[in-house]
Amino acid sequence: MDVSSEMIHALLPVYLVTALGASTLAVGFIEGIAEATASITKVFSGALSDWLGRRKVLAAIGYGLAAFTKPVFPLATTLGWVVAARFVDRIGKGIRGAPRDALIADLAPPDLRGASFGLRQSLDTAGAFLGPALAIGLMWLTSDNLRLVFWAAVVPGFAAFALILFTVHDAPARAGKKRVRSPLSRAELGRLPPLYWWIVGVSAVFTLARFSEAFLVLRAQELGLALMLIPLVLVLLNLVYSLSSYPIGVLADRHDRGMLLALGMLVLVLSELVLALVGGMTGLALGVFLWGLHMGMTQGLLATLVAEVAPESLRGTAFGVFNLVGGLALLAASVVAGGLWDVLGSRATFLAGACFAGLALLILVPVARQARKSGHAHR
């Protein structure tokens, strides 16, 4: 599904600005609302998976919904159609996200949880760099025919739906495990430990610093990268993201997770400073490389921490709430980034991101201390 989505996503910001006349602020709204929609949906799908005691059916519905929205992108002739398609596509992502992560947590051995989420992130992201790579090839073959590339993206979307439908199964039911009757009730949410809420808070502040990757694409366009080569931005980002996620996950099972998370945040600060202050293709490439590295160092690790501290019966809900808060933060970050870009330019956008990443790093210190104690307790 990532191959399908990223073939479209790699070119969509440019398509919105050049073909449909959208502003960068509008791109920020569209990307932020799309991701926030996915995150809001994850709360309910995660809670529903806890209530049902089953994860696969919701994941299959989510992948199916995303597949059936893909043909809308090449057919769209107005900004409204693109916004609607992106909205429904992200609802599909939201429906599948939390149940999928909870299923991985159900299946993963406790001492290999970091490696399990790191591997999931690596494989997930592999599709995210193959998609833009295919987009580049197809743009070259079709002389920059954006709509034809969007049509090609329909095929892997339906292939993903077939895989989830026919090859994936729920974890075997454990004897004595009780289903949660009201996962989103105050009583059940109260069972989530304080450390979980601290992790959610740190992640939210951190997300304010890493607004939508659409702004990396727009930075590449601003620096004069040829239209055909613009998807290389997401190819490089996701290649680094994919290759770093699993090794970091393995390290997280053996070393201090708080320290690794702090290093990941520091890498984002460096990425934003490079993108703001270093010009040319060299600065762009280094900034994007560091952005991908910080994603590999943090995203699987944050999911590991959530899986570790949340009660087994509330894992779907825990991932849902975690993603809701992150999605709302991403909405705010993308809108602010778009506004800053329109008013003050790209440099102000990336410098503001560096400031938020630094703030998240400061908040992380007491959380890392508690996570270290929790990690020892679970091993």
- Consecutive 10-residue runs of the chain (379 residues): their mean pLDDT? 85 74 72 70 81 84 91 81 83 85 82 84 81 85 85 92 87 64 74 85 84 80 80 83 87 80 89 87 90 88 84 83 82 81 84 85 72 53
10 Å Cβ neighbour count for 28? 29
Encoded amino acid at 267, one letter: V
* C-alpha span between 225 and 239 (Å, rounded): 19
Task: Please name the helix (run of DSSP H) or strand (run of DSSP E) that holds residue 16, with its range, or none.
Answer: none
The closest alpha carbon to 246, from 106, 124, 368, belongs to: 124
Q: How far is CA 58 from the centre of its chain?
A: 19
What is the pLDDT, as a whole number, of residue 174?
A: 65
Residues 6+ apart with CB under 8 A from 64: 92, 161, 165
CA distance 297 to 301: 7
Domains located in the chain, CATH noted: 2-169+187-378 (1.20.1250.20)
Residue 29: per-residue pLDDT: 73
Q: How many residues does the chain have?
A: 379
Alpha-carbon span 46 to 19, nearest angstrom: 37
Which pLDDT does position 377 carry in this prediction? 47
Extract the tokens encoding 335: 């809108």
Q: Please count the CA atoms within 13 angstroms of the CA of 198 that sit on its side-chain side.
A: 18
The two three-digit tokens of residue 183, written as one number: 């996962």
Distance of CA 131 to CAs 96, 234, 243, 342, Å?
20, 9, 16, 29
Task: Give Cα 8 to chain centroid, integer Å.
Answer: 16
Q: What are phi and psi of 201, to 5 degrees?
A: -65, -45
pLDDT value of position 156: 93
**pTM of the full predicted structure?**
0.70
The whole-angstrom separation of Cα 184 and Cα 118 is 28
C-beta neighbour count of 358 within 10 angstroms: 15
> What tokens does 272 get?
């934003």
The Cα 274–Cα 114 span in angstroms is 30
**Residues 114, 231: Cα–Cα separation, whole Å:** 30
Could you please report the per-residue DSSP string of 254-273? Answer: TS-HHHHHHHHHHHHHHHHH
CB atoms within 10 A of CB 106: 18
Distance, in Å, from the CA atom of 147 to the CA atom of 318, rounded to the nearest integer, reads 39
Structure tokens at 130: 């193959």
pLDDT value, residue 373: 60
pLDDT value of residue 179 = 63
